[in-house]
Amino acid sequence: MSEAIQDDQDLSGMPMMDNPVMPYLRQERIPHIWCPGCGIGTTVNCFTRAIEEAASDLDKLAIVSGIGCTGRVAGYLNLDSFHTTHGRAIPFATGLKLSNPELSVVVYSGDGDLFAIGGNHFMHAARRNMDLLVVCVNNFTYGMTGGQVAPTTPIGATQTTMPYGNFENPASLPFLADAAGATFVARWTVYHVRQLTRCFKEALGKKGFRFIEILAPCPTLFLRRNRLGDGVDMVRTYKEKSVLRNGADTKEVGLGLTGEIVVGTFVDRERPTWLESMNDHFGKVFGDRYSRYGG
């Protein structure tokens, strides 16, 4: 699979026209580009269900993606949507949110996008407690460019740029998010559609820098190359290997090629957002002369 991925890809396993989530999608843009058995579509289904159940004001909900297979999510959702550059969805979203604070801004992107090329932005947006919901579809690989090693690739997995198996230590995304200061950190897999939907809904109702990691199969590049079966096999693996541990210490939720997958909500805390801090601070410094930015 390459960036030349075509728009007339097979549709199996993906949202159908009679699907209740269709009003939330740009129907004229379907068929989408994702491969059969790809997990990204499932996460989008959950997301649209969540915004339906949360009765979000869709005119005030904006979505920002980087580049990658997951990066295409923005283009399919019938929201104000921005498909930016590789790794920079978070700083774009930062500008969008700060410029128009009445928006609820969701960043939706891949693990390579958010944590390799975009890792620095992730860390700083979390540190600042920028009011964003960041959703990472973690398929352990670079899908769009054809299956190269990602910062999440487990040790031992084979990738085109780790042809003899990966020997690099992968990052544990919830641990990073927690350490950087995120106010909400959760992990689910595409097996957990109900829990994930609920999680989206809950996170949309909160403020601050919120992070959801979703494990999703990339059958085309990750599973096949590592003889892990197809998408359905992987969803079965998620079901068998997952252990629910809400409030788990994020130091202990790292992932391997096999082994248990800790899921749940790990962090849920409150901190003033960047904008609240700025407004409160300037209110103190300037007194009556200061009008709160963004009301």
Is residue 268 a contact partner of residue 277, using CB atoms and an 8 Å limit?
no
Cα of 123 vs its chain's centroid, Å = 15
How many Å from the N-terminal Cα to the C-terminal Cα in the chain? 47
Instruction: Determine which residue in the list 219, 235, 238, 263 makes contact with ligand SF4, applying CB under 6 A.
Output: 219
Closest CA to 64 of 151, 145, 130: 130
Q: Are 90 and 121 in contact (CB under 8 A)?
A: yes
Q: Is 91 in the site for ligand TPP (CB under 6 A)?
A: no
Q: Are 182 and 209 in contact (CB under 8 A)?
A: yes
Residue 114 corresponds to which amino acid? Answer: L
55: left (phi over 0), alpha (psi -120 to 50) or beta: left
Should residue 21 be labelled a site residue for another protein when binding is judged by CB under 8 A? Answer: no
Beta bridge partners of 262: 243
Minimum CB separation from ligand TPP for residue 13, in Å? 16
Query: Quick check: 94 binds another protein (CB under 8 A)?
Result: yes
Nearer to ligand TPP, 122 or 274 (CB): 122
* Sole binder of ligand SF4 in the list 14, 25, 35, 173 (CB under 6 A): 35
Report the nearest approach of ligand TPP to the CB of residue 31 (Å). Answer: 18
d(CA 283, CA 295): 12
- Single residue of 65, 145, 189, 220 touching ligand SF4 by CB under 6 A: 220
Closest to ligand TPP by CB, 230 or 276: 230
Binding status of residue 221 toward ligand SF4 by CB under 6 A: yes
Would you count residue 145 as binding ligand TPP (CB under 6 A)? yes
Task: Decide: is 85 part of the binding site for another protein (CB under 8 A).
Answer: yes
Which of 44, 73, 97, 109 forms a contact with another protein (CB under 8 A)? 97
Q: What is the number of other CB atoms lying within 10 angstroms of the CB of residue 229? A: 16
Q: Which residues bind ligand TPP (CB under 6 A)?
A: 67-70, 86, 110-113, 137, 139, 141-145, 150
Binding residues (CB under 6 A) for ligand SF4: these are 1, 34-35, 38, 40, 69, 139, 143, 218-221
